[in-house]
Amino acid sequence: MRVRRLQYNEEGVGWYDDAYAYENEQGQVIFCYNLTWEKIGGRFGRQMREQQTPLEAVETVIRPTDRLRWLPIEDIPDAEAEAFLATLHEACAIPSLRSIKDSLAALVTG
């Protein structure tokens, strides 16, 4: 599996993983982002799919700035892909369906 991390530079904190893009089994780029990205994350993801943007060119859709940078492509062995994505998902603060269901259940019963 091939992955590229998108990092954000927060003043006083430094660079940290904020989102990422990876190639699925069909070679299509999937953009994964947290709730901070809201609608713009969906727009960028659709744009990457519709334009069939290769992983090497994601910075043509989300351009680097002094606050955003794409890291080089990482090749992750298939045997490690699931654990790698779970760790990256957590680092980017991307909520899972389970965490959303748990939060909603807590609101209803709390």
Instruction: Enumerate residues 6+ apart whose C-beta is below 8 A from 16.
Output: 7, 8, 10, 91
Enumerate residue ranges in the chain where pLDDT < 50: 99-106
Instruction: Enumerate residues 6+ apart whose C-beta is below 8 A from 7.
Output: 15, 16, 17, 18, 68, 69, 70, 71
Task: Tokens for 10, please give them.
Answer: 């927060």
C-beta separation of 22 from 1 below 8 A: yes
C-alpha 18 chain-centroid distance: 7
What local confidence, expressed as pLDDT, does residue 24 receive?
87
pLDDT tens, position by position, 53-78: 999 999 999 999 999 999 999 999 99
pTM of the shown model: 0.84
Task: Tokens for 57, please give them.
Answer: 């060119």
> What's the CA gap between 69 and 5, in Å, rounded?
8
